[in-house]
Chain A
Amino acid sequence: MSRFGTLGANLYRGQVSYDFVGKRKIWYSISAIILIVAIGSLLFRGLNLGIEFKGGAEFLVPSSSATINQARDVAVKAGIADPIVTQLGTGALRVQTRPLSLAETNALRTGLGELASVPASDVDAQIVGPSWGADITSKALQALIVFLILVAIFLSVYFEWRMAVAALVALVHDVVITIGIYALTGFEVTPATVVGVLTILGYSLYDTVVVFDKVRENTRGIAGQSRVTYSEAANLALNQTLVRSINTTVVALLPVVSILIVGVWLLGAGTLKDLALALFIGLLAGAYSSLFIATPVLCQLKERDPAMQAVRARVEARNAGRMSGKGSGSLAVMEGDEGGPVDGQDVSGADLAAQVDSDVEAAVRGGGGRNQPKRTTKRKR
């Protein structure tokens, strides 16, 4: 059990089980705190919007011996007050100014080129009208709403409406946290950031869909038995997909991290860095939420369902019966579970795993009626 590899097996059998669903209050509290900080930062600090959103001009002077102050002087001499000059990791200078006229742009470009001893055409320039960022934002919001509606429909059809609600709660959670972190840290928000945030939508849901697929599999036919509650079955599903979730997150993060590293090292700033940073934050939030938020919310919704409440009541009655030492022979046996007598232990995670597993078996084979040696799977090792 010391090795990560065997952990997967133990998680699968339920021999090691993290109570994601039961301890939801803890996770909800953690998320609530993060969300409050995020929304608070957003309200009180606001976002550090790039010139794409405010309108303005940006110049990129190739790496040279020119200093920040020299570049600032060039701008001020050209009659442009308060330029923002930053030095990028690559040594290049970035000069941001208020919106400029064409003449001012050309003058500044020439001046900066002379400063760095390069032709003016090597100074990259970008002029952005104030409407550009607004356009991008409204388009992004439009895309967000359309996407949410479509995804809600898809998830409702493919799974059920409760899963759609839970997935969307997790999604909003991720996006709000990501935006909040931007507000908190003051990272610059550019159109590339917006793209990154929109991509998180797809990613976060991707992860949730995989987990929910397992949850659905584990809970198939759950209404007809009395051994596990919905929450227990769902929690097992989470544990069973935990290794996959971790691996997925690692594998998704590796390329993003490499974009981030390369973007910062080789380019200093720009599309790659902005995009990767948003993705990095969003992916972490997404991995967290599909484990700690999506499924617990789903379970809460599910447990309100009368059918699931009935299951819970039966399970509790059964457990109470066990506690009082009545043994297990008199228990109702669910469909497809015509196996031998249950051994006398408490319902452990391992037992649960075997139980859920045989349910699945039954479902996959198209219902009960076949003799299955489900206990063969239960080996102690």
Chain B
Amino acid sequence: MAQQQTPARPGRSLAILALAVIGLIVWAFWPGVPNSPQLGLDLRGGTQVILKPRALNDQTISDQQLQQTVEIIRQRVNGLGVAEAEVSTQGSGNNAAIIVSIPGVSDNGIAESLKQTALLDFRAVEAEAAGSPQPLPTASPSASASGSATAAPSASASASVSASASASQSASASASPSPSATGNGAPVPNLVRAATTTPSPSASATAGPTTTASPSPSASPTTPADALIPPIQSKTNDVALQKKFLELDCSVPGATSGGTPDDPAQWLVTCSQDGKAKYLLQPAFIRGTNVTDASAALPQGGTTYTVNLSFDTEGQKKLAEVSQNIYQLPPPQNQFAIVLDSLVVSSPYFREPILGGTAQIEGSFTQQEAKALANVLKYGALPLTLDLSQSTSISPTLGDDQLKAGIAAGLLGLILVALYLLLYYRALGLVAVFSLVVAGIITYCGFVVLGRTIGFTLTLAGIAGAIVAIGITADSFIVYFERIRDEIRDGRTLRAACDAGWVRARRTILAADFVSLLAAVVLYLLSVGGVRGFAFTLGMTTLIDIAVAFLFTRPVVSVLARNSWFAKGGPMTGLDPQRLGVDSIPTASTTRRRSTSSAGKGA
């Protein structure tokens, strides 16, 4: 019978659970890290955009195309300057969806700017400088965090364009190596053209009247960098623009986020993508649409990759013209910049005039770097067309209301269930209520910890899942309690009934919970958006239910069964003999009189 399989060691189970719960609580409420669940956009306000990529001519979408698209979108989202914006994909191939979550911003316009095709320009370089103001020798150690303190020169620094293959040393040591790994006494880089900058608070804050700044004030309270930073542009290379070039600090958050379309007919001041260099650029001479093909290649005998480019007729003409004009100029004016979404991807210099319509960008590219650059050039536009599948913007007010409503519903549900259990099962009901509370604590801590570790966000649907799970969890206890009552009706002592009932209830609970879990897993794997949050909580709470039933409810009932008051089955224990329909709950001695075998097992 029961005892043979599960020696009743309630103390051990409870100790294990207590340790686990305390560990979880400590983990969840560890000081210095977020101690509340990460809330979804529907609970704190924000905009969620779901985009569906579509390949031209109904071809299958390759992972690479999808990745490229996501990268470009991520860059654009970062351009919004919002903290914690997220870009993720779900599914693959033609079923893929790109989900962009932008907390704190309630603006459907974002959807439009995200799905538009990327802008790719070729601009001649007028001036180039290191990306951020140089730290003084007494610079704080945080300089190492700015990302500009790496020793490797950026690809843009050593790339050159030629009509034929030939290795050449870069003439423009623009992105200067500043090996300040220790963070103090960083040497001033050797090329600091116009580096007499003073740190300016923000690039966009200094936008003068001559720029084409499109004011986009943000209502969001998070960071000052929230607003779309407009490209710094001017119709002519005027003093104001040059001043802004000098003041531009590419290490300021948001300065390298790009994402905002620039006017190709105007001059542009901007940063390189990695923020290591800044540029003053002439109006575009070639647009991305002029590029017909781009590919990465390993030249014969070469050890580093190059990017081969070909242009359409217009592009060829322009390229020939510009390259002839500038290839003999001193650096950096012999360079041109490849500008994607207002940020410089690469700025090779012309080694010679490109007259044939095909060019080759050389540099010490790895295969990956070359491929990335080729992709940018080739897809100048997004590699895929994006359809707007859904765009939801929720104001923080509504988000707050929804959160409150969710919590209210949860509490109300919990109270109602607790009342019912207490009314029907009395003392046993109290065990059930405590079990629910334990499950609730584990669930909440689980939300906190998972939010921190795997980025789980709690949505309204997730809260609903957790509330619905109250029912499933309580049901496990009901199954067990009814079994105990059945066993007592069969004439067992309370202790024997608790054990025998558990053996049978356990199987039922596991089977039923397995079905629930199956539903949750299938829903999670095959669904999108809010459905996933719901499925995740449902699955998680099902597992917690099993843990609580095994490690809490069952041992506590075991302990109670040894209690003499409880074992007698008074009206408040929930095991009132009258209600159970027996004369009295047999004690070990009465059972022994009736049946030696039963009592032997029960004792």
Chain A residues at the B interface, C-beta cutoff of 8 Å: 3, 5-6, 8-10, 12-13, 52, 60, 62, 102, 105-106, 109, 119, 121-129, 131-132, 135-136, 139-140, 142-143, 146-147, 150-151, 154, 158, 191-192, 194-195, 198-199, 201-203, 205-206, 209-210, 213-214, 217, 240-241, 243-244, 247-248, 250-259, 261-263, 266-267, 270-272, 275-276, 279, 357, 361, 364-365, 370-373, 376-377, 379, 381
Chain A residues within 8 Å of B1, by CB = 364-365
Whether the Cβ atoms of A248 and B475 lie closer than 8 Å is: yes
B355 within 8 Å of A by Cβ? no
Whether the Cβ atoms of A377 and B491 lie closer than 8 Å is: yes
A122 to B479, CA, bound (A): 48
Chain B residues within 8 Å of A252, by CB = 468, 471-472, 474-475
Majority secondary structure of chain B interface residues (helix, strand, loop or mixed): helix
How near does chain A come to B479, taking the closest CB pair, in angstroms?
6
Interface centre among B485, B531, B595 (most CB of A within 10 A): B531
Stretch at the interface among B247-255, B363-371, B396-404: B396-404
Chain B residues within 8 Å of A203, by CB = 472, 516
Chain B residues within 8 Å of A276, by CB = 464
B598 within 8 Å of A by Cβ? yes
What residue of chain B has the Cβ atom nearest to residue A253's Cβ?
B471
Chain B residues within 8 Å of A139, by CB = 526-528, 531
Chain B residues within 8 Å of A357, by CB = 490
A9 to B515, CA, bound (A): 29
Stretch at the interface among B71-79, B195-203, B277-285, B407-415: B407-415
What residue of chain B has the Cβ atom nearest to residue A365's Cβ?
B1
Whether the Cβ atoms of B576 and A143 lie closer than 8 Å is: no
Evaluate whether A213 and B474 lie within 8 angstroms (CB atoms) in the complex, with A6-B578, A9-B579, A206-B516 already known: no
CB<8 Å pairs between A and B, sample of 16: A8-B482, A121-B106, A124-B393, A124-B395, A126-B393, A129-B52, A139-B527, A143-B527, A192-B461, A202-B520, A251-B475, A254-B417, A254-B420, A259-B468, A263-B409, A381-B583
How many Cβ-Cβ contacts under 8 Å join chain A to chain B? Answer: 283
Whether the Cβ atoms of A129 and B389 lie closer than 8 Å is: yes
Interface residue tally for chain B (C-beta within 8 Å): 92
Chain B residues within 8 Å of A3, by CB = 579
What residue of chain A has the Cβ atom nearest to residue B402's Cβ?
A267
B565 within 8 Å of A by Cβ? no
A248 to B387, CA, bound (A): 45
Chain A residues within 8 Å of B410, by CB = 255, 258
Whether the Cβ atoms of B515 and A202 lie closer than 8 Å is: yes
The answer, among B387, B526, B576, for a CB contact under 8 Å with A146, is B526
What residue of chain B has the Cβ atom nearest to residue A357's Cβ?
B490
Task: Name the interface residues of B61-109: CB closer than 8 Å to any CB of A.
Answer: 97, 106-109
Whether the Cβ atoms of A258 and B597 lie closer than 8 Å is: no
Whether the Cβ atoms of B109 and A271 lie closer than 8 Å is: no
Evaluate whether A5 and B461 lie within 8 angstroms (CB atoms) in the complex, with A125-B393, A247-B478 already known: no
B585 within 8 Å of A by Cβ? no
Task: Name the interface residues of B419-443: CB closer than 8 Å to any CB of A.
Answer: 420-421, 424
Chain A residues within 8 Å of B342, by CB = none
How near does chain A come to B430, taking the closest CB pair, in angstroms?
15
Chain B residues within 8 Å of A191, by CB = 529-531
A198 to B576, CA, bound (A): 40
| B 361-389 to A, binary, CB cutoff 8 A, 1 in contact else 0 | 00000000000000000000000000111
Apart from the given pairs A52-B390, A210-B479, A364-B503, 4 other A-B contacts in the complex at a CB distance below 8 Å? A3-B579, A151-B518, A199-B523, A252-B472
Chain B residues at the A interface, C-beta cutoff of 8 Å: 1, 42, 50, 52, 97, 106-109, 111-112, 219, 387-395, 397-398, 401-402, 404-406, 408-410, 412-414, 416-417, 420-421, 424, 460-461, 464, 467-468, 470-472, 474-475, 478-479, 482, 485-486, 489-491, 500, 503-504, 507-508, 511-516, 518-520, 522-523, 526-531, 534, 538, 576, 578-583, 594-595, 597-598
Whether the Cβ atoms of A106 and B108 lie closer than 8 Å is: yes
The answer, among B413, B424, B461, for a CB contact under 8 Å with A247, is B424
A275 to B405, CA, bound (A): 14
Whether the Cβ atoms of B397 and A62 lie closer than 8 Å is: yes
Majority secondary structure of chain A interface residues (helix, strand, loop or mixed): helix
Whether the Cβ atoms of B405 and A272 lie closer than 8 Å is: yes
The answer, among B489, B527, B531, for a CB contact under 8 Å with A12, is B489
Closest 5 pairs (CB-CB, A-B): A9-B581, A255-B413, A202-B519, A252-B471, A5-B579
A276 to B467, CA, bound (A): 10
Whether the Cβ atoms of B412 and A262 lie closer than 8 Å is: yes
How near does chain B come to A246, taking the closest CB pair, in angstroms?
10
Chain A residues within 8 Å of B468, by CB = 199, 252, 255-256, 259, 279
Chain B residues within 8 Å of A267, by CB = 401-402, 405
A31 to B581, CA, bound (A): 34
How near does chain A come to B591, taking the closest CB pair, in angstroms?
9
Chain B residues within 8 Å of A126, by CB = 390-393
The answer, among A52, A259, A373, A381, for a CB contact under 8 Å with B581, is A381
Evaluate whether A262 and B409 lie within 8 angstroms (CB atoms) in the complex, with A202-B538, A252-B471 already known: yes
Chain B residues within 8 Å of A121, by CB = 106-107, 219, 395
The answer, among B219, B389, B461, for a CB contact under 8 Å with A195, is B461
Chain A residues within 8 Å of B529, by CB = 136, 191
Chain B residues within 8 Å of A124, by CB = 106, 392-395, 398
A111 to B403, CA, bound (A): 27
Interface centre among A105, A194, A372 (most CB of B within 10 A): A105
The answer, among B393, B398, B512, B597, for a CB contact under 8 Å with A210, is B512
Chain A residues within 8 Å of B111, by CB = 102, 127
Evaluate whether A129 and B390 lie within 8 angstroms (CB atoms) in the complex, with A124-B395, A248-B475, A254-B417 already known: yes
What residue of chain B has the Cβ atom nearest to residue A213's Cβ?
B508
A122 to B401, CA, bound (A): 13
How near does chain A come to B325, taking the closest CB pair, in angstroms?
41
Whether the Cβ atoms of B512 and A209 lie closer than 8 Å is: yes
What residue of chain A has the Cβ atom nearest to residue B504's Cβ?
A217
How near does chain A come to B395, taking the closest CB pair, in angstroms?
5
Evaluate whether A210 and B489 lie within 8 angstroms (CB atoms) in the complex, with A135-B97, A241-B482, A247-B478 already known: no
What residue of chain B has the Cβ atom nearest to residue A62's Cβ?
B397
The answer, among B391, B490, B512, B583, for a CB contact under 8 Å with A206, is B512
Chain B residues within 8 Å of A377, by CB = 489-491
Evaluate whether A272 and B406 lie within 8 angstroms (CB atoms) in the complex, with A199-B519, A199-B538 already known: yes
The answer, among A9, A147, A251, for a CB contact under 8 Å with B518, is A147
How near does chain A come to B455, taking the closest CB pair, in angstroms?
21
Whether the Cβ atoms of A373 and B598 lie closer than 8 Å is: yes
A123 to B393, CA, bound (A): 9
Chain A residues within 8 Å of B52, by CB = 129, 131, 135
Whether the Cβ atoms of B413 and A248 lie closer than 8 Å is: no
How near does chain B come to A239, taking the closest CB pair, in angstroms?
12
Chain A residues within 8 Å of B582, by CB = 9, 379, 381
Whether the Cβ atoms of B485 and A8 lie closer than 8 Å is: yes
Chain B residues within 8 Å of A217, by CB = 504
Chain A residues within 8 Å of B594, by CB = 373, 376
A6 to B471, CA, bound (A): 24
A136 to B52, CA, bound (A): 13
Evaluate whether A143 and B522 lie within 8 angstroms (CB atoms) in the complex, with A195-B461, A241-B482, A251-B417 already known: yes
A379 to B464, CA, bound (A): 46
A6 to B578, CA, bound (A): 7
The answer, among A5, A122, A202, A279, for a CB contact under 8 Å with B395, is A122
Whether the Cβ atoms of B531 and A195 lie closer than 8 Å is: yes
A214 to B50, CA, bound (A): 47
Evaluate whether A275 and B464 lie within 8 angstroms (CB atoms) in the complex, with A106-B108, A240-B486, A377-B491 already known: yes
Evaluate whether A259 and B413 lie within 8 angstroms (CB atoms) in the complex, with A126-B390, A135-B528 already known: yes
A122 to B404, CA, bound (A): 18
How near does chain A come to B486, taking the closest CB pair, in angstroms?
6
What residue of chain B has the Cβ atom nearest to residue A242's Cβ?
B482
Chain B residues within 8 Å of A150, by CB = 518, 522
Evaluate whether A132 and B527 lie within 8 angstroms (CB atoms) in the complex, with A158-B511, A254-B420, A262-B412 already known: no
A254 to B576, CA, bound (A): 25
